[in-house]
Chain A
Amino acid sequence: MNKNMIITGLVIFVLAVLSPFWFNMITTTEAAPKPELLGKAKEEKKCVLEKYDMRANHPSLLDEWRDSVVRNSDRQYTAANGHTFGMSLSTGENSCLGCHEDKAKFCDSCHTYASVDPYCWECHTNPKEIK
């Protein structure tokens, strides 16, 4: 194998390894979304879990809720802070979207940023979209 081929291959490899750096230079990079508390959520100032706990654990919490509702028809969740919430993503005033009204800002902005594609919305609908 001649030297030019080795150098060419090496250059390609180095560029590939450095791709996270130059890719962000040649494309416009979106900054991390700042989740906004709007409407009711802004006034209530209480949620199911503490802030960072919520960020990390809301998928498994929703998973537990689903099992609880579907299998045991237990629809009320009492949080550690004493408040009771409806175990529902989108139904009723006391559900997730009942308080956090804007799905695009509350759910989608972070999910898009982290390239997460939850299948919640294959069954549920955003109550705003029905009207």
Chain B
Amino acid sequence: MNQKYLIPLTTVFLLFLVAYTGVEGAGLHRFFGIVIPYLAVLAFLAGFVYKVLGWASSAVPFRIPTTCGQQKSLPWIKQNCIDNPDTSTGVCLRMVLEIFLFRSLFRNTKAAFNRNESNKLSYSWEIFLWIGALAFHYSFLVVILRHFRFFTSPVPSCIKFLEYMDGIVQLGLPGLFISGALLLAATLFLLARRIFDAKVTYISQAADYFPLFLIIGIAVSGLSMRYFTKVDIVGIKELTMGLATFSPVIPKGVGGLFYAHLFLVSILFAYFPASKLMHLGGIFLSPTRNMANNTRAKRHVNPWNYDVKTHTYEEYEDHFREKMIEAGLPVDKEE
């Protein structure tokens, strides 16, 4: 047993139980339904802004051209305009592709020994992390956007269209949303990768497992509410609309599972700025991705160069003219 994933797993279980028993046993509906969600949103925003402002004020003194293609060079050498851009258009394109398609992960390689008798160490292309990451991020995005139906009334048609597309397979009742199932599958895959791939296990810390278990917990509680245990959806929407319009109410007949789900989401929000999940903001500030490789084409002055106090020769001569003349040294100006 590896304590690096056992401790986060236990923590998520405990958090779930704290909210579940807190509501079912101690009747703390207002605390888990109103106080905690507001605090979580505040902590999320304050922490996020604090982190990004901290990064914004850090020095980026020079360009870091980690190139993945030919730099702009002589006219007859073909430049790779996206992977090694020298204009801001190219940089924008590189950032958009990075943010939406995770191209850096696409280049992921793995090192392994050949299984034949040569037993050579070789590197090969490893695409599954990229596929898992794409599936996870996009399904999570769709799940979050779908939840806007709990915060808007009437629900905008774009959210309805998203729900329609997400449930287009019309499987079962209530109809299966592809994004929910995909979210659980993708997080389980990313977890399995950390647990079963020895090289990834070796570099995985509790801080890597905790968000995974937390999101798995959120997905499982959400899916079970929708497909298995069932909840009073109108009651829940009264609560969420109350939160969104600053007139919170606690509906009757909504059980502990919903509050546990809400609590895990709140924990995710509050924990977000202090964790590796801040790559949500950080990806925009990747110094190796968001700067044009024009180190030689343009002059880049160190931004924090201060005004150096100089003492020119003219000033020097003014200072020592009489003494210089006395000593017979040549001077530019006699008087």
**Chain A contact residues, CB within 8 Å of chain B:** 1, 3, 6-7, 9-10, 13-14, 17-18, 20-21, 23-24, 27, 29-33, 51-52, 55-57, 59-60, 62-63, 110, 112-117, 119
Contacts and interface: CB of A to CB of B under 8 A. Distances in A.
B7 to A, nearest CB: 30
A80 B245 CA distance: 39
B41 A3 contact: no
B237 interface: yes
B244 A21 contact: yes
B326 to A, nearest CB: 55
12 contacts: A1-B290, A10-B49, A13-B281, A14-B49, A23-B244, A30-B154, A32-B238, A33-B234, A55-B234, A56-B231, A59-B230, A113-B234
A9 B49 CA distance: 11
A63 B172 CA distance: 9
Given A14-B45, A32-B241, 6 more contacts: A1-B284, A1-B290, A20-B244, A24-B152, A114-B234, A119-B170
Contacts of B41: 17
A23 B154 CA distance: 11
Contact of A59 (B173, B238, B284): B173
Interface residues of B, number: 46
Nearest to A21: B244
Interface in B236-259: 237-238, 241, 243-246, 252-253
B52 interface: yes
A128 B292 CA distance: 68
B48 interface: yes
Chain B residues touching A, majority SS:
helix
Nearest to A66: B173
Given A110-B234, A119-B170, A24 B151 contact: yes
A29 to B, nearest CB: 5
**Residues of A contacting B: mostly:** helix
A30 B56 CA distance: 41
Interface of B: 41, 44-45, 48-49, 52-53, 55-57, 60, 148-149, 151-155, 159-160, 163-164, 170, 173-175, 230-235, 237-238, 241, 243-246, 252-253, 281, 284-285, 290-291
A1 B291 contact: yes
A9 B154 contact: no
Contact of B233 (A24, A62, A63, A114): A114
Closest 9 A/B residue pairs (Cβ): A52-B253, A20-B151, A115-B155, A115-B149, A56-B230, A55-B232, A20-B244, A6-B56, A63-B173
Given A1-B291, A6-B52, A7-B56, A24 B244 contact: yes
Contacts of A30: 153-154
Nearest to B290: A1
B148 A59 contact: no
Contacts of A56: 230-233, 253
